[in-house]
Structure 1
Amino acid sequence: MKKIILSFVALIAFAPATVFANEGMWFLMHIQRLNHRDMQKMGLQLTAEEIYSINNSSLKDAIVQFNGGCTAEMISKDGLVLTNHHCGYDAIAELSSPESNYLRDGFWAQNRKAELKPKSLYVRFFVRMDDVSKRILSLVNDKMTEAEREAIINKEISKIQKENDGGGKYTVSVRSFFQGNEYYYFVYEDYKDVRLVGTPTESIGKFGGDTDNWEWPRHTGDFSLFRVYADANGNPAEYSENNVPLKPKHHLPISLKGVQENDFAMILGYPGRTNRWMPAEGIEQNVKFAYPAWVEGSKMSMDKMKTHMDKDDAVRLQYASKYAQIANYWKNRQGMIDALSKFKTADSKRKVEKKFDAWANKKANKEQYGNVIKDINAYYALTNEKAKHDNYLMTMLRGSAFGVMPARMGNQLTNYAKAQANERTQMKARLVEMIEGTFESLYIPAEKDVLAGQLGLYAAKAKGYMLAPSVEALVKDNTNFESYAANAIDLSIFSSKERLLAFLELPNEELIKNDPLYKLSSDLLDHYNKKSDELKAAEEKYQAGFRKLVAGLRESKLSPILYPDANSTLRLTYGKVRALPVDKRNDAKINNYTTLEGMVKKHKAGDPEFDLSQPLIDLYNKKDFGQYADKAGYMPVNFLSDNDITGGNSGSPVLNGKGELIGLAFDGNIEAMAGDVIFDKNLQRTINVDIRFVLFIIEKYAGAKHIIDELTIVK
């Protein structure tokens, strides 16, 4: 382990300074050693201890993971938490109804009692982390199979988790980095009483819709506000009227100074997944096989859903979150195809791997690394058609409610039917809750169309690999998929809440086994997870080969990458406010910000993506911006920085050199869509909501001055 660290430091010492300007998602515990000096040169005024401290209050105490998939930050001493509108989307939709449509019309609690509690929402505070690489890796060797290696590692991980969970107080996660060459544990504390405080109208929070998604110039007020509650002692607690607002260890002060080109910008958050270490043929597989299927399958689901959403506001609310998630990745994957193809990323990786293969087959390295590239490339050659097939199947399983639900719920109902009477009593309440929750977001006419469309697409386009037996049988019988989907759903117990609840009163195992949707869903999932012996053998070699590739690239110093891939652990990225080339679509003097003027110019009355409410237009016409206008007179909306972020960073705070909040990260630019695989220092941009626009909307548009009053504002 010591040897690895020394080589890591050596790489840093001789790396060109430009590597550090923007690229990298860094561990907070390594900031002092690896990044602090460079950050100071760029404008940081904080010590490393003020960013990450175990014993004292620091910036890390203000950053939370929001509901497992986004980032948020504490912005008041009374537990107020700020994140993106699209991160709060699920909760806002859940709390909405056709009569009280908070998603469309916005919501602002006038006092603490008026704040709304969604059924399931939590924030996760980061407590500490530590390196356990030496401890874990000392237990394994290259003579073990991957399964043997995994079993030993998982056993040790369980010990580490138990040692650090504080008797159940904390959640402990041990994560692999550098493809299994390093391990760290992370200690978290979860708070589950989180309530909606405020959200702008959808015309602000999602302005631009799918058209502007991943695009610049952007004019989106992508923010929402929640509050974290705790028991009287500040500890996590289930929802109770007796709970009180959490007093966080640290909350972020907010700067009204604004941003200028080349200002220091730092982002802390929970980036979800990058693949910067991915082999060349993995990139090629994604571009030519996996992602095109993902794009086409996603578009199928979106089109079928939207037909019904456009006809009925209630259906639109039911499917709003699901549609938004699918649409986001649909555009993302198409952007990835375009960017990775344009920049010939796979070819660039092949050049590095060719050099690695030459190094690996030198006498001193051959035994350890000689077959690495061969084994990796063989795996991808074997799985190209399967990758295409799996992505068509995956988009069906995700897009159709009846792709996964009948199999998973059916298995639980089968266990219920087999159970003794006293056991059923214990199981029943949970099953009732599951059933009722499922049908809150289910509209049968839409589901019939989605399932029929997805079955037809899968049957037609995934033929390069064997189809699921149930679908293969339908193809051989020349089945009409629309008729099949409609009949299967009409006949199934899983398409009716009433039938499922009745089943709990008179359980019958055979009823589940013979259900048409249960049989289809079970077959699709079994087929998705099935692996031939040939595939298992190739996968075994691939897993070992990929781990050795990363180890060898670091040892040989052939890779320019100095940091581990993102995996939903807390990271820090730093860079600057940085413009893109002049764009005539942007009225700003420098193409690193956008204005309310530009937003109003995009306004299209009645357009679901670009409509604006008259009160906001009136504020613009009166130039009634309060204290939030830029000193040049305009009302800022969004700004650009060159920070290195990805999905999961949504809602992350953008901080200046003093650790003051200047913005809220919410998107990237389409030109750098390959960023999850390769960082382009010239193109990579993060799109942020200017914090001044957030406060302007809260005070001047929503009239929620009481929220402004609890913030720490630096003028």
Structure 2
Amino acid sequence: NLYKYKKYTDVRLVFAPEFEAAFFGGDPDNFTYPRYDLDITFFRVYENDKPAHLDHYLHWSRTGVSENDLIFVSGHPGSTGRLRTMAQLEYLRDVEYPSRLETYKRRINLLKNFSSQSEENARIAKEDLFSYENSQKAITGYLSGLQDKEIMARKQAEEDKLRADYKTKNSAAPDPWQEIANAMKVQRDMFLPLTYVERLRGFNSDLARIARNLVRVTEEKTKPNEKRLREYRDSNLPSLEQDLFSTAPIYKSLETVTLADSLAQMQDALGRDNPVVQKVLGGKTADDAAKDLIGNTKLDNVALRKQLYQGGAAAVQASNDPLIVAMRAIDPDARTVRKQFDDQVDSVERRDGAAIAKARFAESGFTQPPDATFTLRLSYGAVKGYTENGKHISYFTTVRGTFEHATEHGNKDPYELPESWMKMKSKLNLSTPLNYLSTADIIGGNSGSPTVNKAGEVVGIIFDGNIQSLVWNFVYDDRMGRAIHVGSRGIQEALRNIYGAHALAQELLGTKASTVTKMKDGKKRNP
């Protein structure tokens, strides 16, 4: 398929609530329900220094949703594995996911220890800690689905049926399921070097990743476009350059700690005598090597990164920056395992996966959609609660419930509401719905997706799913799995009666973008 996108590069923040309101309940409530989060942000896109003019846009619902309403979700779901073979699922269950969870646990403990040392440490580690805790819960949910005997039996039966049908119609052709199973055996054997060296689990550092990209991209650009590694082809260079030249802060104190821990983990996994371990550590401890690499690198200087990139392979080869030197040293080892993966695993999965997809389409037609790939998808479902352990779970929560939830947990982090909420409690309509559930088919990547009703009006924004929805990565089951939305009525209530953003609230309901509001300092500004 061919997709066309319009890119806006002038994007300005209009409104964002406090972290404590957007992520109320923190990691303990993540992937759970009931929820009480105002997890929203509004931006405005500009063209020629003016708000972009859009002929087509979604109108805002004044009434929100009711139980059993039909709703639609448009978004970019990241990836699913519903069409994977049993061999691929078993690889994830037995190798990939357990290894990831072990690493997440290790890194979460590391970051919590780092954060406990000072308020500044806690601040700079906060985003990474949230990311790992979020991933830990997600992968735990995925793994639980693959460990569910009923789900796996269902997947096995589906594969057996399709495989038998394929063999009947293609008796002379190679068995694509067996080809993929063979590839999975290869990937199991190469898992450690692939993960720690090529995919850089042993180098948990933004600066190390930047060094790898500089070493690789400057070499790859000397080759014809079609001969390059996929991530360094011309179509991917704009996003790579944006990443390389980002001015986002990099904290060396955190980088030193994370790199040291990952180097130690790699040493444990690959062994002290492994060539890559020896090249990087050079007889030093992981702690000392990390201090040397991060302490002496200058790659936190964006101007230097641009200079190396523009200087090409010659400049990178001549560089004596310790991280560049380290990445140059291990690149032959990394490329060897990458070539084996590309030739014996990835290419097999692509080729034989396509053959299986064609067979599945011949059997099922459009009744089974392709796996998610971050491209635009339209999902649908019903606004609906569910029953868990004999208890009915309501399809919506209220603003009142938010305050009650905070009180139940002693108003302590992560259940401490921001001051803005506490000050305005008496002004709020506490019965206003805040979050609600639906059976819309979503997955990671759908966060921020608009939810619309039959009239095409915005009735909410996707921000999460409950723990039972995580198995949707492999099989959709709406008995208990639910998507979680921030409701349009709750958003309006918060904008008006907590944050005083009346102009923005009115604009969402149809007032033109040129509407301005008078601020306390007497100046007029766009909302």
Q: Using structure 1 for the length normalisation, give the TM-score.
A: 0.61
Matched, 1:676 2:493: no
**1:432–1:501 CA contact under 8 A, matched in 2:** no
**1:293–1:392 CA contact under 8 A, matched in 2:** no
SS at match of 1:189: coil
**1:403–1:524 CA contact under 8 A, matched in 2:** no
Q: State the Cα deviation string for residues 218-240 of structure 1 (Å, max 9, x = none).
A: 11110011111123xxxxxxxxx
**1:252–1:712 CA contact under 8 A, matched in 2:** no
**2:184–2:345 CA contact under 8 A, matched in 1:** no
Partner of 1:342: 148
- Name which of 374, 380, 383 aligns with 2:187: 383
Question: Cα gap change, 1:503/1:670 in structure 2, threshold over 3 Å: closer, same or farther?
Answer: closer
Alpha-carbon deviation of 1:491? 3.4
Partner of 2:293: 488
RMSD: 3.8
Give the distance between the partners of 1:480 and 1:392, measured in 2 at CA: 17
Question: Cα gap change, 1:638/1:502 in structure 2, threshold over 3 Å: closer, same or farther?
Answer: closer
Alpha-carbon deviation of 1:204? 0.4
Alpha-carbon deviation of 1:433? 9.9
**1:593–1:636 CA contact under 8 A, matched in 2:** yes
Give the distance between the partners of 1:675 and 1:467, measured in 2 at CA: 42
SS at match of 1:329: helix
SS at match of 1:666: strand
Partner of 1:225: 42
Matched, 1:454 2:262: yes
Amino acid of the structure 2 residue aligned with 1:460: D
Question: Cα gap change, 1:556/1:669 in structure 2, threshold over 3 Å: closer, same or farther?
Answer: same
- Name which of 154, 165, 172 aligns with 1:359: 165
Amino acid of the structure 1 residue aligned with 2:395: N
- Name which of 596, 599, 605 aligns with 2:399: 596
The runs of 5 or more residues in structure 2 that have no matched partner are 221-239, 512-527
The runs of 5 or more residues in structure 1 that have no matched partner are 1-183, 232-242, 416-430
Q: State the Cα deviation string for residues 380-405 of structure 1 (Å, max 9, x = none).
A: 12212434554455463784123311
Alpha-carbon deviation of 1:695? 1.2
**1:214–1:670 CA contact under 8 A, matched in 2:** yes
Q: Which moved more, 1:657-666 or 1:479-488?
A: 479-488
**2:202–2:265 CA contact under 8 A, matched in 1:** no
Q: Which moved more, 1:397-406 or 1:696-705?
A: 397-406
- Name which of 617, 620, 627 aligns with 2:422: 617
How many aligned residue pairs are there?
488
Alpha-carbon deviation of 1:379? 0.9
Alpha-carbon deviation of 1:610? 1.4
Amino acid of the structure 2 residue aligned with 1:274: T
**2:22–2:37 CA contact under 8 A, matched in 1:** yes
Question: Cα gap change, 1:675/1:500 in structure 2, threshold over 3 Å: closer, same or farther?
Answer: closer
Alpha-carbon deviation of 1:647? 2.0
Alpha-carbon deviation of 1:598? 2.5
Alpha-carbon deviation of 1:513? 4.9
Question: Identity of aligned pairs, percent?
Answer: 23
Partner of 1:518: 324
Give the distance between the partners of 1:590 and 1:681, measured in 2 at CA: 14
Give the distance between the partners of 1:526 and 1:467, measured in 2 at CA: 17
Give the distance between the partners of 1:245 and 1:451, measured in 2 at CA: 43
Matched, 1:548 2:340: no
For 1:660-675, what aligned pairs fall within 5 Å after superposition? 660-675=457-472
SS at match of 2:441: coil
**1:468–1:524 CA contact under 8 A, matched in 2:** no
Alpha-carbon deviation of 1:316? 5.1
Alpha-carbon deviation of 1:666? 0.8
Alpha-carbon deviation of 1:657? 1.6
Question: Cα gap change, 1:216/1:513 in structure 2, threshold over 3 Å: closer, same or farther?
Answer: same
Give the distance between the partners of 2:18 and 2:458, measured in 1 at CA: 23
Partner of 2:444: 647
Amino acid of the structure 1 residue aligned with 2:489: R
Question: Cα gap change, 1:401/1:260 in structure 2, threshold over 3 Å: closer, same or farther?
Answer: same
Partner of 1:403: 208
Give the distance between the partners of 1:279 and 1:405, measured in 2 at CA: 35
SS at match of 2:209: helix
